[in-house]
Amino acid sequence: MNSSNDIRIGFIGSGFARRVQLPGLAFVPGAKATAIASGHRANAEAVAREFGLQVFTDGAELARSADVDVVVVSSTPDSHARYAIAALEAGKHVLCEKPMALDALEAAQMVTASEQRPDRLAWIDHELRYEPNRRRARELIRSNAIGEVRHVELSLKPYLRGDGRPQASDAPWNWWFDVSRGGGILGAVGSHLIDLCRFWTGTEIIYVAGLVATFVKQRTDVTGTVRPVTADDFASCVLQLGSGSVATITLSTVAHHGPGHHGQVTGSEGTLVL
């Protein structure tokens, strides 16, 4: 902690951090952004000029900085485990974007690293838990307003972005369409909805079945080069929770029409529709 007692925050990743996290941090008293790292130094420098930050090319180097108390990992998912573990090993608190990691093995390694530093906070950033409608739905469910939860239905058709970027149907190829980097609708949005089932019901998932598909097989990147799409643009799954309730989730970036986000929670005494 520094002499002013502000919590000093360093960001790894210059995309989501610049569009969402850094502007939002300006409204948090006692928190101060101090550093930014990106694999593309020019991007980090642009963000640093805008927000007055120190620049690092490597996220692990930022994690070791004496000017950082908390590391926010908002880089591409293929780097989440590497940077989160590096930050914990450097004695820093960690807030890591979802999806947590590329696979269960990486996620388990992150958990192990956090368990070895019990004095450090290590969280996954499921920020949609704090959205007012979702919190109100949780309150109603937990107060037994609809009785025992029987099934949850969640869908997103089509996927519409609200942050100024091109919509998924028209977006140029980037890492989001590369499965090796952690791209795809299941990780981008499915992770939120899977967490929402846990958040609303207070129980863990004990069974899952599902599939993903890629319907748009190639896209053109910003240079005009045609690139193969390997990440999913459709995902569907059925979950069973420890309480005995069942959840279904359907996500599509290729649907031409639909309600957008839709949620329905059916209980023994009533139904919530969002």
Q: For 107-136, what is each residue's pLDDT tens digit? A: 999 999 999 999 999 999 999 999 999 999
- pLDDT score at 159: 78
Question: Peptide bond before 118: cis, by omega within 30 degrees of 0?
Answer: no
Domain with CATH 3.40.50.720 in the chain: 7-125
Count CB neighbours of 13 within 10 A.
25
Q: How far, in Å, CA of 178 to CA of 233, rounded?
A: 11
Q: Which CATH architecture has domain 128-273?
A: 2-Layer Sandwich (3.30)
CA distances from 67 to 116, 131, 171, 181, 268 (A): 23, 31, 37, 29, 53
Distance CA 91, CA 69 (A): 8
Residue 10's nearest CA partner among 40, 31, 39, 41 is 31
The pLDDT assigned to 258 comes to 87
Residues of the chain under the 70 pLDDT cut: 1-3, 161-169
What residue ranges of the chain are covered by domains with CATH 3.30.360.10? Answer: 128-273
Check residue 214 and give its pLDDT.
Answer: 97
Coil, strand or helix: which one is 132?
Answer: helix
For the entire predicted model, the pTM comes to 0.91
Fold of 7-125: Rossmann fold (3.40.50)
Number of helices (H) and strands (E), helices first, in the chain?
9, 14
